[in-house]
C-alpha cells in the first residue's frame, strides 16, 4: 500500500479550505472601544479596547485609528504582539499619545495627554489581519467611541448677599454666573474661614441637590443662570467667606473646582449680659496698638492720644469671637520718645491705659566709681610686675650667652 502526494490543485484546494476555516474563526472576533466622552482642552483621556472571540490575544498586533466623522480612518498608534515591546505613533501626536496592552485582560489602551480641540472625533481599535496584507493590514474594527474636546470657557462667578447677620436668623446668598452652559453644569457652595480648609456646603445640578446639613438649602434658576444658598439658624461658626464654585470635568475625583471671589458673612453674637472689656496697650518703637477684648455689646469708642505729639491712627477693627463676645484693635503711630494713652468708652464707662517711655539715663553710683578706680590701679600693678619679669628674663639670657662665649674661647 502506498500514499500519493497531493498534486498542485489538491494543495491549492486544501490551502483554500484552511484559509476559509481560519477566516470563519476570525470573523467571530469582537473589538469594543470605551472611554469616549466630553473633555476640556488640556485634560488627559484613556480609551480602552476589549477584545473577545476565538483567538489568542497575545499573538496579534493591535492599533488605534481616528476619524473626524466616522468615514475615512487615520492611523494613530499601534503595538506589536506578545509583550508589545514596539510601538508606533503618528508623527504629529507621538509626544502626546501612549499605547499599551494587557494580555491577561485582552485589552488595548490608548492615552492622549493634553487634549486639543482637533482631537475630537471617533476612535477605533483594530487588529492586524495577515489575510488582508495586499489591501489593508488592519481589520476587524470595533464600533468606535466618540471623543469631544471643547475649549475651557472664560466664565464668570459672582457671589452676592454677604455682610453682618444676626444670630439664629437665616442667611440668603446668590451667585450670578455667565460664560458657560449653566443647565448642564454642576455648581456648589463652599465656606472658607481663614486659617482652615474650605468646607463643602452644597452641590446642585439640573436634577438634584446635596447638602451637608439639613438646615442648608441650595437651589438654582436656569433662566437667570443663578444659584442660591440659604442657611437657617445661623451660629457663630457660620461666619467666613462664602464661595460659589463650578465643577469642571466628568464628575470624578480629579475634577477641577473653579471658585468665585467670595462674599464675607459675619454672624453677630446673640443677646447676653453686658461684659466690660479688658484693655491692653502694646508698643514697638513708633508703632502702638490698643487691644480691647471680651466685651458686649458691640458699641464702643476707642482713641489714642499723646500729650506732646499727634497720633496717626488707623480705623478701628471689631470682630466677634467664638464664645459670643467681641474684640477690637486700634493701631497707630507716635514718636518713640512720646507717651501715649488708649481711651476705651463702653457702656458709659471709660478705661484708660497709658505707656510712658523710659527716657532717664542712669548715672554710675559711687560704689561703681570706686570699683572702677580699684580696677584701674590693679591693672597698672599687673603691668609693672610683667615688665619686671621681662627685664629679669633678659638679664638671665645675657649672662648665659657670656658664659658660653667664655667657655668656648
Given this model, what pLDDT does residue 41 score?
82
**Cβ atoms 167, 269 nearer than 8 A:** yes
Do 203 and 220 contact (CB within 8 A), yes or no? Answer: no
pLDDT of residue 1: 40
Flag whether pLDDT at 254 surpasses 70: no
Q: What is the pTM assigned to this prediction?
A: 0.46
- pLDDT of 191 higher than 90: yes
The per-residue pLDDT of the chain, averaged, comes to 81
Beta bridge partners of 100: 109
Give 386 or 209, the one with higher predicted confidence.
209
Q: Helix or strand or coil: residue 10?
A: helix
53 confidence band (pLDDT: 50, 70, 90): confident
Q: Where is 176: in which H helix or E strand?
A: strand 171-178
pLDDT band at 110 (very low <50, low <70, confident <90, very high): very high
- pLDDT of 397: 58
Would you say 46 and 21 are in contact if contact means Cβ atoms under 8 Å apart? no
Q: What is the mean pLDDT of residues 157-181?
A: 91
Task: List Cα–Cα distances, 269 to 192, 282, 286, in angstroms.
Answer: 19, 27, 35
Q: How many helices (H) and strands (E) does the chain have?
A: 2, 30
**Quick check: helix, strand or coil at residue 149?**
strand
- The three cell numbers of residue 118 are 482637533
Residues 79-117: b if buried by 16+ CB within 10 A, e if exposed: bebeebeebebeeebeeebebebeeeebbbbbbbeebee
**List of domains in the chain:** 8-150 (2.60.40.10), 156-268 (2.60.40.10), 278-355 (2.60.40.10)
Taking residues 212-238, what's their average pLDDT? 93
| Rounded Cα–Cα distance for residues 91 and 76 (Å) | 9
Number of other residues whose CB lies within 10 A of the CB of residue 9: 8
Between 17 and 372, the more confident residue is 372
Give the pairing of strands 171-178 and 156-160: antiparallel
Reference 108, options 44, 54, 33, 26; nearest CA is: 33
List all residues 6 or more positions away from 350 whose beta carbon is below 8 Å from its beta carbon. Answer: 343, 344
- Paired with 99 in beta bridges are 110
Whether 79 has a pLDDT exceeding 90, the answer reads yes
CB atoms within 10 A of CB 185: 19
Amino acid at each position: 500500500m502506498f500514499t500519493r502526494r497531493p498534486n498542485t490543485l489538491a494543495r491549492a484546494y486544501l490551502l483554500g479550505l484552511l484559509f476559509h476555516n481560519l477566516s470563519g474563526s476570525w470573523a467571530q472576533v469582537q473589538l469594543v472601544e470605551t472611554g469616549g466622552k466630553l473633555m476640556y482642552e488640556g485634560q488627559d483621556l484613556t480609551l480602552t479596547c476589549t477584545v473577545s472571540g476565538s483567538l489568542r490575544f497575545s499573538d496579534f498586533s493591535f492599533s488605534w485609528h481616528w476619524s473626524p466623522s466616522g468615514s475615512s480612518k487615520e492611523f494613530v498608534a499601534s503595538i506589536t504582539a506578545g509583550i508589545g515591546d514596539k510601538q508606533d505613533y503618528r508623527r504629529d501626536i507621538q509626544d502626546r499619545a501612549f499605547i499599551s496592552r494587557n494580555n491577561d485582560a485582552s485589552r488595548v489602551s490608548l492615552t492622549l495627554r493634553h487634549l486639543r480641540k482637533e482631537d475630537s472625533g471617533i476612535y477605533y481599535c483594530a487588529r492586524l489581519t495577515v489575510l488582508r496584507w495586499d489591501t489593508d493590514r488592519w481589520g476587524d474594527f470595533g464600533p468606535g467611541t466618540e471623543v469631544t474636546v471643547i475649549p475651557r470657557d472664560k466664565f464668570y462667578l459672582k457671589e452676592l448677599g454677604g455682610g453682618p447677620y444676626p444670630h439664629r436668623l437665616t442667611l440668603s446668598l446668590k451667585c450670578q454666573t455667565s460664560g458657560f452652559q449653566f443647565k448642564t453644569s454642576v455648581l456648589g457652595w463652599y465656606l472658607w474661614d481663614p486659617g482652615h480648609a474650605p468646607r463643602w456646603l452644597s452641590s446642585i445640578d439640573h436634577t438634584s441637590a446635596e447638602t451637608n446639613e439639613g438646615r442648608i438649602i441650595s437651589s438654582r434658576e436656569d433662566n437667570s443662570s443663578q444659584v442660591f444658598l440659604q442657611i437657617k439658624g445661623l451660629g457663630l461658626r457660620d461666619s467666613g467667606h462664602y464661595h460659589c464654585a463650578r465643577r469642571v470635568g466628568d464628575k470624578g475625583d480629579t475634577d477641577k473646582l473653579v471658585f468665585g471671589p467670595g462674599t464675607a458673612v459675619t454672624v453677630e453674637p446673640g443677646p447676653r449680659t453686658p461684659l466690660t472689656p479688658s484693655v491692653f496697650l502694646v508698643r514697638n518703637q513708633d508703632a502702638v496698638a490698643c487691644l480691647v477684648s471680651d466685651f458686649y455689646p458691640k458699641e464702643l469708642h476707642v482713641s489714642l492720644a499723646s500729650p506732646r505729639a499727634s497720633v496717626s491712627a488707623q480705623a478701628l477693627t471689631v470682630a466677634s469671637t467664638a464664645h459670643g463676645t467681641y474684640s477690637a484693635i486700634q493701631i497707630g503711630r507716635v514718636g518713640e520718645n512720646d507717651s501715649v494713652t488708649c481711651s476705651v468708652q463702653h457702656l458709659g464707662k471709660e478705661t484708660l491705659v497709658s505707656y510712658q517711655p523710659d527716657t532717664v539715663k542712669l548715672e554710675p553710683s559711687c560704689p561703681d566709681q570706686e570699683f572702677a578706680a580699684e580696677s584701674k590701679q590693679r591693672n597698672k600693678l599687673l603691668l609693672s610686675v610683667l615688665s619686671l619679669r621681662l627685664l629679669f628674663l633678659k638679664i638671665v639670657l645675657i649672662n648665659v650667652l657670656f658664659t658660653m662665649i667664655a667657655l668656648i674661647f
